């Protein structure tokens, strides 16, 4: 097996220069860009995007995907401003010279049945897809706790209706939704564009790849793609809370590592060991 490694390097540092250093030290050639100097990638200006692109070019690092938060909003909230941010993020993707953008299928209220919102979810996904196609950007839907596409069955439904929306397969997120990752893989493998490498124990604590119940060795062995994105989540990092549904918190062993950079290194080495 021969894979190219990508990473959410904002988990090593929010500072883009320090992200580059962490990636270089770990031999990672692709960045799934999410946090940049204290801002989410969707919030940076066009000018800032050009500055980041120059730094990455100088370091010979390529952007694999935009780790956008698009689709991470309550389905009952106003969509207009969120869609405007989505369109801006597509422009950022073009500047950073990547064809992929990670996205989601909207948070569902905890006390409501997801099926109630199916039509509205698909309407919004359709608008996302139409705009992305115009910009020649491939949208990649990530399964995530609390969104419409949190279960493998509903993810499959999305990909069948919108076959141009590819899948980002996140094993830990499926485990946290009480889904068997091997069964989920069997349903979604034909739509998977790439994987996020994140593992979790039975008690919900995020752990290095291979130490949890996400069946990551099996998934890697059966994965036909070329890029694996390391998403450590082994230490609390700036911007983590903004990635989560209101009222929920990722379970992290906060005192296990001395720094975010150490946690990033451990996550990277765990994947390399599996490979």
pLDDT tens digits, 83-113: 999 999 999 999 999 999 999 999 999 989 9
Looking at the chain, the number of H-run helices and the number of E-run strands are: 9, 12
pLDDT at 158 over 90: yes
pLDDT at 167 over 70: yes
List, for residues 205-230, the tens digit of each pLDDT value. 999 999 999 999 999 999 999 999 99
- Write phi, then psi, for 188 (nearest 5 degrees): -110, -5
Task: Count the helix, strand and coil residues of the chain and give each as a percent rounded to the nearest 5.
Answer: 45, 15, 40
What is the pTM (predicted TM-score) of this model?
0.92
| Domains located in the chain, CATH noted | 4-250 (3.20.20.150)
The token duo for 134 is 């115009």
26 in helix, strand or coil? helix
Which residue in 225, 237, 238 sits closest to 267, CA to CA?
237
pLDDT at 80 over 80: yes
Residue 240: pLDDT band (50, 70, 90) is low
Which parts of 80-177 fold into alpha helices (H)?
80-95, 118-134, 152-161, 171-176
Dihedral sign from CA coordinates of 155, 159, 161, 162: positive
Question: Which residue has tokens 């997801």?
Answer: 114
pLDDT at 242 over 60: no
Neighbours of 85 (CB within 10 A): 16
CA-to-CA distance for 150 and 132, rounded, in angstroms? 22
pLDDT of residue 257: 86
CB-CB contact of 223 with 190 (8 Å): no
44 in helix, strand or coil? coil
- Write phi, then psi, for 15 (nearest 5 degrees): -75, 125
Q: Which residues contact 206 (CB under 8 A, 6 or more apart)?
A: 172, 198, 199, 200, 212, 232, 233, 234, 250, 251, 252, 253
pLDDT of residue 235: 77
CA-to-CA distance for 191 and 57, rounded, in angstroms? 30
Return mean pLDDT, the chain: 94
């Amino acid at each position: 097996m021969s894979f190219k490694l990508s990473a959410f390097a904002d988990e090593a540092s929010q500072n883009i220069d320090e992200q580059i250093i962490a990636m270089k030290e770990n031999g990672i050639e692709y960045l799934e860009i999410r946090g940049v100097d204290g801002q989410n990638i969707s919030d940076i200006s066009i000018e800032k995007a050009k500055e980041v692109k120059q730094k990455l070019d100088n370091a010979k690092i390529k952007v694999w995907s935009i780790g956008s938060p698009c689709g991470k909003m309550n389905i009952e909230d106003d969509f207009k401003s969120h869609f405007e941010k989505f369109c801006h993020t597509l422009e950022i993707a073009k500047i950073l010279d990547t064809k992929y953008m990670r996205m989601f299928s909207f948070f569902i209220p905890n006390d409501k049945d997801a099926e109630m919102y199916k039509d509205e979810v698909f309407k919004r996904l359709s608008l996302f897809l139409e705009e992305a196609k115009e910009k020649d950007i491939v949208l990649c839907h990530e399964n995530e706790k609390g969104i419409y596409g949190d279960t493998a069955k509903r993810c499959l439904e999305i990909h069948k209706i919108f076959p141009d929306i590819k899948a980002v397969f996140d094993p830990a997120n499926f485990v946290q939704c009480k889904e068997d990752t091997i069964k989920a893989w069997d349903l979604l493998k034909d739509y998977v564009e790439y994987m996020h490498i994140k593992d979790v124990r039975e008690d919900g604590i995020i752990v290095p790849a291979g130490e949890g119940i996400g069946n990551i060795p099996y998934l890697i062995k059966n994965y036909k793609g070329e890029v694996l994105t390391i998403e450590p989540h082994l230490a609390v990092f700036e911007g983590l809370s903004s990635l989560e549904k209101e009222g929920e918190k990722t379970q992290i062993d906060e005192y296990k590592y001395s720094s975010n950079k150490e946690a990033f290194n451990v996550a990277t080495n765990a994947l390399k060991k599996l490979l």
